[in-house]
Amino acid sequence: MEILKKPILTEKASNLTEKLNRYAFQVDHRANKLQIKAAVEKMFGVQVKSVNTAVVTGKMKSRQTKTGIASGRVAKYKKAIITLNDGDIIDFYSTIQ
């Protein structure tokens, strides 16, 4: 089971990072807080102070097609907000060339 799927890089998550040293990740829905903490510490080599999780429900979407209105739902996912100790940072853009 891959615990960390991808970082969430939205404007709201960027504000959390700048002000409170918090980072947001999309994680596996079966992962608990201890597993998420261990995965972040192993992958990025930082000390995690706390982990908060939330299940984000999928939005209803609809679009107009030739055959009528097609509607459906975006998949739900689990989000983890990671708070790091003072002095630790995660640089997502260091590997981009």
Which pTM does this prediction carry? 0.86
Residue-wise pLDDT for 37-92, tens only, equals 999 999 999 999 999 999 999 999 999 999 999 999 999 999 999 999 999 999 88
Tell me how far apart the alpha carbons of residues 68 and 55 are, in angstroms, rounded to a whole number: 32
User: Are residues 80 and 41 in contact, defined by beta-carbon separation less than 8 angstroms?
Assistant: no
CATH topology for 4-84 is Alpha-Beta Plaits (3.30.70)
Residue-wise pLDDT for 2-44, tens only, equals 999 999 999 999 999 999 999 999 999 999 999 999 999 999 9
Tell me how far apart the alpha carbons of residues 7 and 5 are, in angstroms, rounded to a whole number: 7
H/E segment holding residue 87? none
Domain ranges across the chain: 4-84
User: Which residues are 8's β-sheet partners?
Assistant: none
User: Which residues are 68's β-sheet partners?
Assistant: 65
Tell me how far apart the alpha carbons of residues 80 and 78 are, in angstroms, rounded to a whole number: 7
